[in-house]
Amino acid sequence: MKILVLISVLLLSACYGGPEVDDLEVFVADTTAKPRGRIKPLPEFQPYSTFIYGASALRSPFESPVVFEEMATRYATQADAPDNLRHKQPLERHSLGELSLVGTLSKEGDDGLKALIKTASGNVHVVTVGQYMGKNNGRVLNILDSQLDLIEVVPNGSGGWISRPHSMGMKDSAGGEK
């Protein structure tokens, strides 16, 4: 047992270190002497305010608006139902968004201008006043040098039909309307 105590004392005295740890003590003293940084305080947050959404007095988004009929009669006229037995013309397979006016033609002795209508597939059709185009029974009313006017017959949502005017302008080389 005495030997065990003697070995412990020897080991503990060997850990003392003496002059080899002087540089460590200097480093610790320098570090503790430096001024300490300050941590910024936390920002103050505004308290959360609740919002109560009360849409019970508003119209349901799944119902037709009441003012639809007023607006429809203000901007369009009542029309007769389109003739569904009429033979459909080639341009009636395309919506008006797929068609564009790319030019007009005139010939001496003809009554008026003819329009050149290009489809999305790149085909060009010659159209005269009175012909139909578009999926909503659009009938050509007037052809000008850089514009084509037509009128569509569309359902009004109440079982009737309304006439809706539409114009197509010729596009310039930059792609915008003239």
Q: What is the pLDDT of residues 100-120, one digit of tens each?
A: 899 888 877 777 788 899 998
Residue 63 is classified by DSSP as S
SS3 label, residue 155: strand
The conformational region for residue 33 under phi > 0 = left, psi -120 to 50 = alpha, else beta, is: alpha
SS3 label, residue 75: helix
**Alpha carbon distance 104, 143 (integer Å):** 8
End-to-end C-alpha distance for the chain, whole angstroms: 111
**Alpha carbon distance 16, 22 (integer Å):** 11
pLDDT of amino acid 26: 87
**Alpha carbon distance 78, 163 (integer Å):** 6
pLDDT surpasses 80 at 132: yes
**pLDDT interval class at 170 (50, 70, 90):** confident
Q: What is the pLDDT of residues 23-81, one digit of tens each?
A: 888 888 998 888 888 888 989 988 888 877 777 677 777 776 654 444 444 445 566 77
Block residue for tokens 């047992």: 1
pLDDT of amino acid 158: 78
Q: Domains in the chain, ordered, with CATH?
A: 2-33 (no CATH), 77-169 (2.30.30.830)
- Tallying the residues shown for the chain, one arrives at 178
| Predicted TM-score of the model (pTM) | 0.51
